[in-house]
Amino acid sequence: MIKIDHLTKRYGDTLALDDLDFEVKPGVVTGFLGPNGSGKSTTMRIILGLDHPTGGRAIVNGHRYAELKDPVREVGALLDAKAVHPGRTARNHLRALAASNQIRRSRVDEVLDFVGIAAVANKKVGTYSLGMSQRLGIAGALLGDPGVLLFDEPVNGLDPEGIKWIREFFRALANEGRTVFVSSHLMSEMAVSVDEIIVIGRGRFITSGSVNDLTKNVGGTVLARASDLDKLSALVTSHHGVVHDANDEGITISGLTSDEVGRLAFDAGIAIFELTPQRASLEEVFMDLTADAVEYGSKKTDPARGQ
Protein backbone atom coordinates (compact mmCIF):
# COMPACT_ATOMS: atom_id res chain seq x y z
CA MET A 1 0.00 0.00 0.00
CA ILE A 2 1.41 3.34 -1.10
CA LYS A 3 -0.29 6.61 -0.34
CA ILE A 4 0.77 9.77 -2.15
CA ASP A 5 -0.51 12.62 -0.01
CA HIS A 6 -0.65 16.02 -1.73
CA LEU A 7 2.93 15.75 -2.91
CA THR A 8 4.65 18.85 -4.24
CA LYS A 9 8.24 19.08 -5.42
CA ARG A 10 9.92 22.23 -6.63
CA TYR A 11 13.39 22.37 -8.22
CA GLY A 12 14.24 26.05 -8.31
CA ASP A 13 11.58 27.61 -10.52
CA THR A 14 10.38 24.30 -11.90
CA LEU A 15 7.35 22.70 -10.33
CA ALA A 16 8.09 18.99 -10.85
CA LEU A 17 5.15 17.70 -8.83
CA ASP A 18 2.02 19.74 -8.26
CA ASP A 19 -0.23 18.53 -5.43
CA LEU A 20 -0.07 14.91 -6.57
CA ASP A 21 -2.49 12.73 -4.66
CA PHE A 22 -3.32 9.04 -5.21
CA GLU A 23 -3.14 5.56 -3.73
CA VAL A 24 -1.60 2.35 -5.01
CA LYS A 25 -3.54 -0.71 -3.82
CA PRO A 26 -2.18 -4.15 -3.02
CA GLY A 27 -3.11 -7.23 -5.04
CA VAL A 28 -3.07 -5.58 -8.46
CA VAL A 29 -0.40 -4.37 -10.85
CA THR A 30 -0.65 -0.59 -11.02
CA GLY A 31 0.87 1.21 -13.97
CA PHE A 32 2.26 4.72 -13.60
CA LEU A 33 1.96 6.45 -16.93
CA GLY A 34 3.08 9.84 -18.11
CA PRO A 35 5.18 11.47 -20.80
CA ASN A 36 8.88 11.97 -20.22
CA GLY A 37 9.48 14.66 -17.63
CA SER A 38 6.01 14.32 -16.13
CA GLY A 39 7.39 13.49 -12.68
CA LYS A 40 7.20 9.68 -12.52
CA SER A 41 10.78 9.16 -11.39
CA THR A 42 10.62 12.12 -9.00
CA THR A 43 7.54 10.57 -7.38
CA MET A 44 9.29 7.22 -7.05
CA ARG A 45 12.39 8.82 -5.54
CA ILE A 46 10.26 10.65 -2.99
CA ILE A 47 8.43 7.41 -2.08
CA LEU A 48 11.88 5.91 -1.39
CA GLY A 49 13.04 8.87 0.68
CA LEU A 50 15.79 9.77 -1.79
CA ASP A 51 14.39 13.21 -2.57
CA HIS A 52 12.71 15.46 -0.05
CA PRO A 53 9.27 16.73 -1.05
CA THR A 54 8.63 20.47 -0.94
CA GLY A 55 5.14 19.72 0.41
CA GLY A 56 3.02 16.72 1.26
CA ARG A 57 4.31 13.23 1.91
CA ALA A 58 4.55 9.71 0.60
CA ILE A 59 3.45 6.92 2.93
CA VAL A 60 4.40 3.25 2.52
CA ASN A 61 2.68 0.68 4.73
CA GLY A 62 1.56 3.49 7.01
CA HIS A 63 5.01 5.00 7.46
CA ARG A 64 7.31 7.43 5.78
CA TYR A 65 10.04 5.41 4.04
CA ALA A 66 12.79 6.84 6.24
CA GLU A 67 11.00 5.50 9.32
CA LEU A 68 11.05 1.86 8.12
CA LYS A 69 13.50 -0.21 10.15
CA ASP A 70 14.69 -2.66 7.49
CA PRO A 71 13.20 -1.03 4.38
CA VAL A 72 14.50 -3.64 1.93
CA ARG A 73 12.26 -6.20 3.69
CA GLU A 74 9.17 -4.02 3.15
CA VAL A 75 9.81 -2.23 -0.12
CA GLY A 76 11.72 -3.53 -3.13
CA ALA A 77 12.71 -0.98 -5.72
CA LEU A 78 14.30 -0.91 -9.13
CA LEU A 79 14.92 2.70 -10.06
CA ASP A 80 17.95 2.67 -12.28
CA ALA A 81 19.49 -0.65 -13.28
CA LYS A 82 22.89 0.95 -13.79
CA ALA A 83 22.98 2.45 -10.27
CA VAL A 84 25.47 -0.14 -9.10
CA HIS A 85 29.22 0.26 -8.69
CA PRO A 86 30.58 -1.13 -11.99
CA GLY A 87 33.67 -2.59 -10.33
CA ARG A 88 31.76 -4.77 -7.89
CA THR A 89 30.44 -8.24 -8.71
CA ALA A 90 26.70 -8.88 -8.69
CA ARG A 91 27.03 -11.28 -5.77
CA ASN A 92 29.02 -8.80 -3.65
CA HIS A 93 26.56 -6.03 -4.50
CA LEU A 94 23.66 -8.16 -3.27
CA ARG A 95 25.61 -9.41 -0.25
CA ALA A 96 26.21 -5.83 0.90
CA LEU A 97 22.54 -5.03 0.33
CA ALA A 98 21.47 -8.13 2.29
CA ALA A 99 23.84 -7.35 5.16
CA SER A 100 22.45 -3.83 5.56
CA ASN A 101 18.95 -5.16 6.22
CA GLN A 102 19.87 -8.34 8.11
CA ILE A 103 18.76 -10.64 5.32
CA ARG A 104 20.29 -14.13 5.39
CA ARG A 105 23.17 -14.67 2.97
CA SER A 106 21.64 -17.69 1.25
CA ARG A 107 18.86 -15.44 -0.03
CA VAL A 108 21.42 -13.78 -2.35
CA ASP A 109 21.91 -17.00 -4.30
CA GLU A 110 18.18 -17.64 -4.36
CA VAL A 111 17.38 -14.31 -6.08
CA LEU A 112 20.38 -14.58 -8.43
CA ASP A 113 19.06 -17.95 -9.47
CA PHE A 114 15.50 -16.68 -9.81
CA VAL A 115 16.35 -13.82 -12.19
CA GLY A 116 18.67 -16.05 -14.18
CA ILE A 117 22.06 -14.42 -13.68
CA ALA A 118 23.58 -16.92 -11.22
CA ALA A 119 26.10 -18.02 -13.85
CA VAL A 120 27.57 -14.51 -14.14
CA ALA A 121 27.17 -13.52 -10.47
CA ASN A 122 30.93 -13.32 -9.93
CA LYS A 123 31.50 -11.03 -12.90
CA LYS A 124 31.83 -7.28 -12.43
CA VAL A 125 28.57 -5.46 -12.98
CA GLY A 126 30.31 -3.03 -15.37
CA THR A 127 30.56 -5.85 -17.92
CA TYR A 128 26.80 -6.49 -17.88
CA SER A 129 24.41 -5.65 -20.71
CA LEU A 130 21.43 -3.45 -19.87
CA GLY A 131 19.22 -6.52 -19.79
CA MET A 132 21.49 -8.29 -17.29
CA SER A 133 21.71 -5.14 -15.16
CA GLN A 134 17.93 -4.96 -15.24
CA ARG A 135 17.74 -8.52 -13.94
CA LEU A 136 20.24 -7.71 -11.21
CA GLY A 137 18.10 -4.72 -10.25
CA ILE A 138 15.06 -6.99 -10.02
CA ALA A 139 17.08 -9.43 -7.89
CA GLY A 140 17.88 -6.54 -5.55
CA ALA A 141 14.23 -5.55 -5.36
CA LEU A 142 13.22 -9.12 -4.45
CA LEU A 143 16.03 -9.66 -1.94
CA GLY A 144 14.00 -8.78 1.14
CA ASP A 145 10.81 -10.55 -0.07
CA PRO A 146 8.94 -7.23 0.25
CA GLY A 147 5.19 -6.63 0.16
CA VAL A 148 5.57 -3.43 -1.89
CA LEU A 149 7.49 -3.30 -5.15
CA LEU A 150 8.40 -0.29 -7.29
CA PHE A 151 9.80 -0.59 -10.78
CA ASP A 152 10.84 2.42 -12.85
CA GLU A 153 10.77 1.53 -16.56
CA PRO A 154 11.57 -2.15 -15.92
CA VAL A 155 11.06 -3.28 -19.51
CA ASN A 156 13.90 -1.13 -20.87
CA GLY A 157 16.68 -3.25 -22.26
CA LEU A 158 14.90 -6.57 -21.88
CA ASP A 159 14.60 -8.92 -24.83
CA PRO A 160 11.12 -10.22 -25.84
CA GLU A 161 11.59 -13.33 -23.72
CA GLY A 162 12.53 -11.13 -20.77
CA ILE A 163 9.52 -8.88 -21.32
CA LYS A 164 7.17 -11.87 -21.31
CA TRP A 165 8.89 -13.16 -18.19
CA ILE A 166 8.57 -9.85 -16.35
CA ARG A 167 4.87 -9.47 -17.21
CA GLU A 168 4.07 -12.87 -15.76
CA PHE A 169 6.29 -12.09 -12.84
CA PHE A 170 4.44 -8.83 -12.01
CA ARG A 171 1.15 -10.70 -12.26
CA ALA A 172 2.42 -13.41 -9.91
CA LEU A 173 3.63 -10.83 -7.38
CA ALA A 174 0.25 -9.09 -7.41
CA ASN A 175 -1.59 -12.40 -7.08
CA GLU A 176 0.39 -13.00 -3.90
CA GLY A 177 -1.24 -9.86 -2.53
CA ARG A 178 1.71 -7.55 -3.02
CA THR A 179 1.54 -3.93 -4.11
CA VAL A 180 3.18 -3.66 -7.54
CA PHE A 181 3.79 -0.17 -8.92
CA VAL A 182 5.34 0.01 -12.38
CA SER A 183 6.16 3.14 -14.32
CA SER A 184 6.46 3.24 -18.07
CA HIS A 185 6.19 5.60 -20.98
CA LEU A 186 5.31 2.64 -23.24
CA MET A 187 1.53 2.75 -23.39
CA SER A 188 1.21 -0.45 -25.39
CA GLU A 189 3.24 -2.26 -22.73
CA MET A 190 0.93 -0.95 -20.02
CA ALA A 191 -2.20 -2.14 -21.81
CA VAL A 192 -1.17 -5.77 -21.58
CA SER A 193 0.72 -5.90 -18.30
CA VAL A 194 -1.18 -3.84 -15.74
CA ASP A 195 -4.63 -3.81 -14.13
CA GLU A 196 -4.89 -0.26 -12.90
CA ILE A 197 -3.35 2.86 -14.38
CA ILE A 198 -2.49 6.20 -12.85
CA VAL A 199 -1.83 8.90 -15.44
CA ILE A 200 0.11 12.05 -14.65
CA GLY A 201 1.29 14.93 -16.80
CA ARG A 202 3.47 17.91 -15.90
CA GLY A 203 3.56 16.72 -12.31
CA ARG A 204 -0.21 16.71 -11.95
CA PHE A 205 -2.68 13.89 -11.47
CA ILE A 206 -4.71 13.41 -14.64
CA THR A 207 -6.79 10.30 -14.17
CA SER A 208 -6.77 6.76 -12.88
CA GLY A 209 -8.75 3.59 -13.34
CA SER A 210 -8.64 0.19 -14.95
CA VAL A 211 -7.31 -0.12 -18.48
CA ASN A 212 -10.86 -0.97 -19.67
CA ASP A 213 -12.48 2.02 -17.99
CA LEU A 214 -9.94 4.41 -19.40
CA THR A 215 -10.27 3.28 -22.98
CA LYS A 216 -14.06 3.13 -22.68
CA ASN A 217 -14.67 6.47 -21.04
CA VAL A 218 -12.07 8.74 -22.40
CA GLY A 219 -11.37 8.25 -26.06
CA GLY A 220 -14.31 6.16 -27.31
CA THR A 221 -16.22 7.31 -30.39
CA VAL A 222 -19.20 5.93 -32.29
CA LEU A 223 -19.37 5.70 -36.07
CA ALA A 224 -22.94 6.10 -37.40
CA ARG A 225 -24.55 5.79 -40.83
CA ALA A 226 -28.23 6.64 -41.00
CA SER A 227 -31.09 7.71 -43.24
CA ASP A 228 -31.00 11.33 -42.08
CA LEU A 229 -27.51 12.28 -40.95
CA ASP A 230 -28.30 15.99 -40.54
CA LYS A 231 -31.15 15.26 -38.18
CA LEU A 232 -29.08 12.76 -36.22
CA SER A 233 -26.22 15.25 -35.95
CA ALA A 234 -28.58 17.89 -34.56
CA LEU A 235 -29.97 15.39 -32.04
CA VAL A 236 -26.52 14.32 -30.91
CA THR A 237 -25.41 17.91 -30.44
CA SER A 238 -28.54 18.76 -28.43
CA HIS A 239 -27.76 15.79 -26.13
CA HIS A 240 -24.24 17.05 -25.35
CA GLY A 241 -22.53 14.79 -27.88
CA VAL A 242 -19.95 16.06 -30.37
CA VAL A 243 -20.04 15.30 -34.09
CA HIS A 244 -16.76 14.90 -35.96
CA ASP A 245 -15.91 14.02 -39.53
CA ALA A 246 -19.39 14.49 -40.95
CA ASN A 247 -19.57 13.41 -44.60
CA ASP A 248 -21.93 11.54 -46.92
CA GLU A 249 -20.71 8.20 -45.61
CA GLY A 250 -21.49 8.81 -41.97
CA ILE A 251 -20.61 10.72 -38.81
CA THR A 252 -18.26 10.09 -35.92
CA ILE A 253 -19.73 10.89 -32.53
CA SER A 254 -18.00 11.33 -29.21
CA GLY A 255 -19.47 11.95 -25.78
CA LEU A 256 -22.33 9.47 -26.26
CA THR A 257 -22.34 5.68 -26.23
CA SER A 258 -23.63 3.63 -29.15
CA ASP A 259 -26.64 2.63 -27.00
CA GLU A 260 -27.54 6.26 -26.45
CA VAL A 261 -27.16 7.15 -30.13
CA GLY A 262 -29.28 4.17 -31.15
CA ARG A 263 -32.06 5.15 -28.77
CA LEU A 264 -32.04 8.78 -29.96
CA ALA A 265 -32.31 7.64 -33.58
CA PHE A 266 -35.11 5.21 -32.78
CA ASP A 267 -37.12 7.84 -30.89
CA ALA A 268 -36.70 10.29 -33.80
CA GLY A 269 -37.62 7.68 -36.39
CA ILE A 270 -34.25 7.71 -38.12
CA ALA A 271 -33.18 4.44 -39.74
CA ILE A 272 -29.77 3.32 -38.59
CA PHE A 273 -27.62 1.52 -41.17
CA GLU A 274 -24.52 1.17 -39.08
CA LEU A 275 -23.58 1.99 -35.48
CA THR A 276 -20.04 1.00 -34.53
CA PRO A 277 -18.43 1.78 -31.17
CA GLN A 278 -14.79 2.58 -31.81
CA ARG A 279 -12.69 1.97 -28.72
CA ALA A 280 -9.61 4.12 -28.48
CA SER A 281 -6.32 2.38 -27.96
CA LEU A 282 -4.67 3.17 -24.67
CA GLU A 283 -2.08 5.04 -26.68
CA GLU A 284 -4.73 7.39 -28.09
CA VAL A 285 -6.26 7.85 -24.66
CA PHE A 286 -2.90 8.73 -23.29
CA MET A 287 -2.16 11.26 -26.02
CA ASP A 288 -5.59 12.75 -25.56
CA LEU A 289 -5.23 12.99 -21.80
CA THR A 290 -1.76 14.43 -21.72
CA ALA A 291 -2.20 16.77 -24.67
CA ASP A 292 -3.10 19.48 -22.27
CA ALA A 293 -2.10 18.28 -18.86
CA VAL A 294 -3.13 21.47 -17.11
CA GLU A 295 -6.67 21.46 -18.44
CA TYR A 296 -7.27 17.87 -17.44
CA GLY A 297 -5.28 18.23 -14.25
CA SER A 298 -7.69 20.79 -12.88
CA LYS A 299 -10.55 18.31 -13.33
CA LYS A 300 -10.28 16.24 -10.20
CA THR A 301 -13.66 14.59 -10.04
CA ASP A 302 -12.88 11.30 -11.74
CA PRO A 303 -15.11 8.70 -10.02
CA ALA A 304 -12.47 6.05 -10.65
CA ARG A 305 -10.33 7.65 -7.98
CA GLY A 306 -12.84 6.80 -5.33
CA GLN A 307 -13.39 10.33 -4.13
Instruction: Tell me which residues touch other proteins (CB under 8 A).
Output: 41-42, 45, 48-52, 65-66, 68, 71-72, 75, 77, 79-80, 82-89, 92, 95-97, 99-102, 140
C-beta of 16 vs 293, nearer to other proteins: 16
Neighbours of 105 (CB within 10 A): 11
Residue 172 CB, nearest approach to other proteins (Å): 23
What is the rounded distance in angstroms from the CA atom of residue 277 to the CA atom of residue 72? 47
Residue 6 CB, nearest approach to other proteins (Å): 19
C-beta of 28 vs 149, nearer to other proteins: 149
Residue 75 CB, nearest approach to other proteins (Å): 8
Residue 258 CB, nearest approach to other proteins (Å): 47
Q: What residues have CB less than 8 Å from 116, skipping those under 6 apart?
A: 135
C-beta of 120 vs 289, nearer to other proteins: 120
C-beta of 51 vs 153, nearer to other proteins: 51
C-beta of 75 vs 199, nearer to other proteins: 75
Q: Are 214 and 202 in contact (CB under 8 A)?
A: no
Residue 77 CB, nearest approach to other proteins (Å): 6
For 291-297, the CB contacts below 8 A with 24+ separation are: 293/38, 293/200, 293/201, 293/202, 293/204, 293/206, 294/202, 294/204, 296/201, 296/206, 296/207, 297/18, 297/201, 297/202, 297/204, 297/205, 297/206
